[in-house]
Amino acid sequence: MGNSTEGVAFSLNDSRFQSSPGEVMAELREKCPVHFSEVPSAYFTISRGNDVMNALRDEMTWSSIYGPGLAYNKSGDGVLVSSDPPEHTRERLAISRIFQPSAINKMEDDIRSLTNQLIDGFGEKNACDLIKDYAMPIPLTVMCWLLGTPIEDIDRFRRWVLPMAEAVAYSGGREASDEVRLAYSNFFEYFGSHITKRANTLSSGAMVPDDLLTQLLTVERGNERLTHKEILGFCQFLLVAGSATTTLLIGNAVYRLLEFPEQMQKLQKKKDLLPNVIEESLRYDAPVHGLFRTNTCPVTLHNVDIPSNSKVYMMFGSANRDSDLWEDPDEFNISRKLDDLKRHTAFGVGTHYCLGAPLARLEATIALQTLLTRLPSMSLNGTPKNVKAEVLNGFEELPVSWGDRPK
């Protein structure tokens, strides 16, 4: 094996990576494009944009069958994100109908009302934690609408989401904390019974809501339905993949606009730059740093031998900062061309490209529109706190304040 760790100290749990991901990714791209680490267990990291994109487009070599995390999941246990073609193609065809933009756009008015209600709830206050009080309840409430659970339960879900996200970087050893174990067992108990109740109502012939859960229970993949276990696993993936990520996107976009006031002024002068803000935020601060693949055969890349069946971390976030792909990649600039910006890899690449991208974009756009209209004088009000989950990028707390009461 070539010397793949030369010159760059990096592992997922590295605190320097958590606090300065851009700096560490630049070092990896330059000095060590195929990095090997053994912490907490053996894996390689690919950081150059072209390498990441080529690999993600070649799922015969870079399989998802052992799951997107560091641990080797039992193959065949997961839906979509843990499967390869042709199984993945059948599942994706069935499930993608649920995520059609026409179905998503129907939620626009409800999402707008939700964002306004959250700001109404600030009352006379002139400060809040933008994550806890705004960016997190939005996607979690949408998730309740999709999965047919009571809105009051978002407080439980918020306690489970980030601990469950931490497990993506676990090796499958004993590192899970009590908090993470509890989050999983509470999730499985709650959703196990929720799915069973809905399945029973369906088979009794009684009326059921026309939501994503009903569609998951009735959708046909080839000639067969999804199993209870597959639906449970998919709901678990969705809760993390659909809510934690969108929360991070909203927080990251607001933070950069406050950090770079000239970009905020540009946006205030030209409101139709908002889609550019969302895409530039996704490029500049990809909410998911990266996810794993497992190679089905030995691969040699940049003189490094990657033995068959290695876990390999594909760094979406690093691809977005690669100067081979982007001009001035380390500059946050909302004036980049929108079509060009949409080449970013924050939603993945190829077969597993995010099915929820239209929904995430819609939620973030409305969240920012409402904030900019109702809290135009918002500013930072303390030091933000980063999320703990190693594969995620963004804030767990983002203190902000504003001069007057909300408009």
Helix (H) or strand (E) holding 304: strand 304-306
Eight-class DSSP state of 373? H
Q: How far is the CB of 67 from ligand HEM (least distance, A)?
A: 9
Q: How far is the CB of 377 from ligand HEM (least distance, A)?
A: 26
Is residue 245 a contact residue for ligand HEM (CB under 6 A)? yes
Residue number closest to ligand HEM, CB atom = 356
Is residue 241 a contact residue for ligand HEM (CB under 6 A)? yes
For ligand HEM (CB under 6 A), the number of binding residues is: 24
The alpha carbon of residue 180 and the mean position of all alpha carbons in its chain are separated, in whole angstroms, by 18
The region of 121-129, 158-166, 238-246, 365-373 touching ligand HEM under the rule CB under 6 A is 238-246
CB 249 within 8 A of CB 364: yes
Helix (H) or strand (E) holding 37: strand 34-37
Pick between residue 194 and residue 352 the one whose CB is nearest to ligand HEM: 352
* Alpha carbons 281 and 247: distance in angstroms, whole number: 13
Pick between residue 8 and residue 52 the one whose CB is nearest to ligand HEM: 52
Is residue 316 a contact residue for ligand HEM (CB under 6 A)? yes
Q: How far is the CB of 355 from ligand HEM (least distance, A)?
A: 4
Q: How far is the CB of 365 from ligand HEM (least distance, A)?
A: 12
Compose the 62-101 pattern: x for residues touching ligand HEM by CB under 6 A, - for all others: --x---x-----------xx----------x---------
* Alpha carbons 91 and 352: distance in angstroms, whole number: 11
Matching residue, tokens 């061309």: 337
Footprint of ligand HEM on residues 106-145 (CB under 6 A)?
none
Is residue 238 a contact residue for ligand HEM (CB under 6 A)? yes
Is residue 231 a contact residue for ligand HEM (CB under 6 A)? no
Is residue 288 a contact residue for ligand HEM (CB under 6 A)? yes
SS (H, E, C) 182-241: HHHHHHHHHHHHHHHHHHHHHHHCCCCCCCHHHHHHHCEECCEECCHHHHHHHHHHHHHH
Helix (H) or strand (E) holding 331: none
CB 395 within 8 A of CB 252: yes
* Alpha carbons 69 and 391: distance in angstroms, whole number: 9
Q: How far is the CB of 347 from ligand HEM (least distance, A)?
A: 5
Is residue 216 a contact residue for ligand HEM (CB under 6 A)? no
Q: How far is the CB of 265 from ligand HEM (least distance, A)?
A: 25
Q: Please, what's the b/e burial string for 214-227 (b: 16 or more CB within 10 A of its CB; e: otherwise)?
A: bebbebebeeeebe
Matching residue, tokens 């303390």: 382
Pick between residue 21 and residue 242 the one whose CB is nearest to ligand HEM: 242
Strand partners, 261: none
Q: How far is the CB of 77 from ligand HEM (least distance, A)?
A: 14
Q: How far is the CB of 388 from ligand HEM (least distance, A)?
A: 18
* Strand duo 62-63 + 291-295: pairing: antiparallel
Is residue 154 a contact residue for ligand HEM (CB under 6 A)? no
Footprint of ligand HEM on residues 339-368 (CB under 6 A)?
346-348, 352, 354-356, 359-360
Q: How far is the CB of 348 from ligand HEM (least distance, A)?
A: 3
Is residue 194 a contact residue for ligand HEM (CB under 6 A)? no
Q: Is the dihedral of CA 76, 80, 83, 84 positive or negative?
A: positive
**How many Cα atoms within 13 Å fall on the side-chain side of residue 80?**
23
Q: Which residues bind ligand HEM (CB under 6 A)?
A: 64, 68, 80-81, 92, 238, 241-242, 245-246, 249, 287-288, 291, 316, 346-348, 352, 354-356, 359-360
